[in-house]
Amino acid sequence: MFVLAGQSSIIVVCRVTESAARSDPSTTVGKSRVLAVFVTYNPDNAVLAENIKSVLDQGCDCYVVDNASAFPLALKPNPERVTVDLQATNLGLGSAQNIGLRAAQNGNYDYAILFDQDSLPDSNMIESLLRAHKKKSQSAKVAAVGPVYRNAQNGTESFFVRFGYLKFKRAYKAEADEHGCIEADFLISSGSLCRVEALNHIGLMDESLFIDHVDTEWFLRSRALGYQSFGVADAMMGHELGEDTHQVSLGGRKRNVPQHKPFRYYYIFRNSVLLYKRRGTSWLWKWNDLQRLVLIAVMFGVFKAPRLSNLSMMLKGAWHGIIGRSGKLVEYAVASDKAK
């Protein structure tokens, strides 16, 4: 059903049908009801349309949540399979995702899967994730499973992350177990598939964080409740990391470091500090993440322009985290609205 509502979220409802599951004779997926949630904000309409088509082609319906984009979404009407929900203001990533996740909870869906507007799933990604989730659920409490993503800028493939005593540890798809899975301490939200039953227990996204670390907080919470998450080696997705990506060498390894607009560093630093202060947050994650913040501060506060704007936002974010301020950065939001 194609519905244009008066709120700001684009949610894509995906239903993997029995016929889709039968495309692979060895599959054990069967018929599963999956709600895919696309959150958009000023998207490239052509890219968004391609990404939604990929989801539809995998047997899914779509529900899209738009966070008050400055221009209309040019989506081709599909009354049978696409719902579009437009918000009046930018509610933030967590709030928009929760609109879709509540739809999954209230609509008797078995699974929910989240997508960014620039994430392009491969043709068999959803089925691969479903199969892996069902296999791992036989022996573990599964929070979510997620794909390997290709950097849309340079084609490099992602690794999965475990907490380490010295730093974040990388786990590549070559290390997959007999089910094609790699244990990860957290995943990026885009492409992550979660069973609604687990979502009901773990809870929804923390809307107070607004944008960055929304996924991190949810995975830390699920981990504290005894859940595990897994990357799936044969599930692939194209994904944009940031406005630009820089490749740096650290300890003999090359690493892709995404660069963002200055306001994003406010949320990255503020939300890191807010999570550091929360009881029950993994101390290993705190130590690993602190090292990441130092790298970001040196690289984008000292060496990469706009240095002063980046550093100013980092310091403001850290301070607001210390004093416990959360939600939307009001000053930036006002300036952005005036610029429209």
Domain positions in the chain:
4-239, 244-339
Output the pLDDT for position 249. 59
Residue-level length of the chain: 340
Across the chain, mean pLDDT equals 86
Q: What confidence tier does 217 reach under pLDDT thresholds 50, 70, 90?
A: very high
Q: What is the CA angle 296-297-298, rounded to 5? A: 95
Output the pLDDT for position 45. 93
Give yes or no for residue 286 having a pLDDT over 50.
yes
Q: What is the pLDDT of residues 315-329, one digit of tens each?
A: 999 999 999 999 999
- How far is CA 6 from each of CA 43, 85, 183, 197, 203, rounded to the nearest angstrom? 18, 6, 40, 29, 26
Yes or no: is domain 4-239 CATH 2.40.40.20?
A: no
Average pLDDT, integer, range 123-152 = 95
- How far is CA 4 from each of CA 9, 65, 118, rounded to the nearest angstrom? 10, 10, 21
* Higher pLDDT pick, 250 / 271: 271
Output the pLDDT for position 246. 63
